[in-house]
Amino acid sequence: MPEERLQAGLDILRGWDLDPVVGAHVLDRHGRFGYLAGTDADRAADFQAAWCDPSVDAVFCARGGYGVQRMADLLDWDALRAARPKALVGFSDITALHEAFAARLGLVTLHGPMAAGIDFVKNARAQDHLRATLFEPESVRTIRSAGGQALVPGRAGGVLLGGCLCLLASELGTPHARPSAAGGLLCLEDVGEETYRLDRYLTQLLRAGWFDGVAGILLGSWEGCGPYERVRDLVLDRLGGLGVPIAEEFGFGHGEGALTVPFGVRAELDAGAGVLTLGVPALV
């Protein structure tokens, strides 16, 4: 149950000597659309209140789901910009917030597990890597792939960005999205998408010129996206011609024991060795 998972996640955070404050509407359900956690206005108000509260040091998203794009236009971006910067943690649908915070505020955000997520509640690796990123960021400046190969070998440097592929495609043309991935090390993952849909997202981004100038690509998890060999073939078919390094199995996203990746931080990728090295700690 969501409430039980949320309480378990809060207990983990309390074990880190944190004092989590729960948003007023975190367990709400939308009256008409069951896939939404409450109304857009209430969710936006909760988020803004947390970000603008000077006593809050980090905002942990409870879960992903759907609807972040619906609330993005309801946020007061001037007020968010004026508030003290802090850590934002989440992934999946939170990709829309990662994009908005990069485009509108220029802040580093953490693509990592969420407080009420099953993986965070039950997986020590996910917990430990997020905790280290928050409290001992110098100790996690190197992230290694889980034995995957270089789909396209090579080295590249750039600013980390990305997230859930379907959200990146959906963000095209909005005021909260970057115009392209130029100069970036692009992190891609997704969940529960058939190969033809992944093909559609990649093709849409390619046709829009969004991949122009990208420095390198890292692949995370593809849980529920069919045989991984087919996903790999698709990535090579659609992105291999870009001529940039592409590395797989970097352990971020919807997979078990997901690692935390700081977006907005410059890093170096050695695709052949399967190593990502952050130029600076995630949080300074």
pLDDT per residue as tens digits for the range 84-127: 999 999 999 999 999 999 999 999 999 999 999 989 999 999 99
The mean pLDDT value for 196-205 works out to: 98
Global pTM?
0.96
CATH of 141-278, one of 1.20.140.10, 3.50.30.60, 3.20.20.20, 3.30.750.24: 3.50.30.60
> Tokens 């390198």 — which residue?
216
- Residue 69 structure tokens: 């794009």
Out of 189, 193, 248, 249, which one is annotated catalytic? 189
Q: Does the domain at residues 2-139 carry the CATH identifier 3.40.50.10740?
A: yes
189 is catalytic: yes
- Indicate where the chain has its CATH 3.40.50.10740 domain(s): 2-139
- Distance, in Å, from the CA atom of 110 to the CA atom of 98, rounded to the nearest integer, reads 8
Rounded CA separation 130/124 (Å): 10
Could you say which of 98, 111, 129, 254 is catalytic?
254
| Active-site option among 92, 98, 129, 249 | 92
Distance CA 167, CA 201 (A): 9
The pLDDT value given to residue 29: 87
Instruction: Specify the domain boundaries for CATH 3.50.30.60 within the chain.
Output: 141-278
Burial call 192-207: b when 16+ CB within 10 Å, e when fewer = ebeeeebeebbeebee
92 is known as an active-site residue: yes
Residue 190 pLDDT > 90, yes or no? Answer: yes
How high is the mean pLDDT of the chain? 95
| pLDDT at residue 1, as a whole number | 59
Higher pLDDT residue, 1 or 85? 85
Q: What is the pLDDT of residue 34?
A: 87
Judged by DSSP in three states, 219 sits in strand
pLDDT tens digits, one per residue of 6-54: 999 999 999 999 999 999 999 888 989 988 888 999 999 999 999 999 9
Annotated catalytic residue 254 = yes
> With contact defined as beta carbons under 8 Å apart, do 163 and 91 qualify?
yes
d(CA 163, CA 250): 12
